[in-house]
A and B are shown apart, each in its own frame.
Chain A
């Protein structure tokens, strides 16, 4: 069972806006940054959002992140078929002294 909690699945139609939640605790999300990754089948995770809401160069501004208390969210607007992937949240856990991950959310574009 993962330390961070994500819904196992999410879906939307092209053009829609979808959000994926990530819930943790005071020792991880509540006290440190949240980062998000996109994983396409058979590939390594790719950094999507870092430090709660920052986008690496090359990531479209359709992707945005936010954090409040011990929860965080990833929002994808203007949904496209190529966004169909697994999405993971992660944070450093100060109690465990290590990285913890969410269980992942499989996004389906209908």
Chain B
């Protein structure tokens, strides 16, 4: 059974960096079949895929176009986890953030979600 446990602050100031971590149990961040995603949800934007990292003999990342200039998703193989950094946040980045696994072509496991509020 795969479990994803999220951690990180729930309040970030405007212009600063939002940082979240997703610890994986029951699978490996270096899996050759899975991808590790960040997805957010807000009342105004609904569910929005932000990006992913995955390993296929080497590491790959892909990001959603609207956040590509200010996002990083990185694996940490020593801790079997992956992280999200979203830079230069504004109140529009306020949302519940989820980490999630895709395997066999669909998202099958989700983290518990973290409400991140961008406010001074």
Contacts and interface: CB of A to CB of B under 8 A. Distances in A.
A101 B46 contact: yes
B54 interface: no
A26 interface: no
B62 interface: yes
B105 A92 contact: yes
Interface residues of B, number: 20
A45 interface: yes
B65 to A, nearest CB: 7
Contacts of A88: 47
> Chain A contact residues (Cβ within 8 angstroms of B): what range?
20 to 34
Interface of A: 2, 33, 35, 37, 43-47, 50-51, 56, 88, 90, 92, 96-104
Interface of B: 37, 39, 46-49, 51, 62, 64-65, 98, 104-108, 110-113
18 contacts: A33-B105, A35-B107, A45-B47, A45-B98, A45-B110, A46-B110, A47-B107, A47-B108, A50-B106, A50-B108, A88-B47, A92-B105, A96-B64, A97-B62, A98-B62, A98-B64, A101-B48, A102-B46
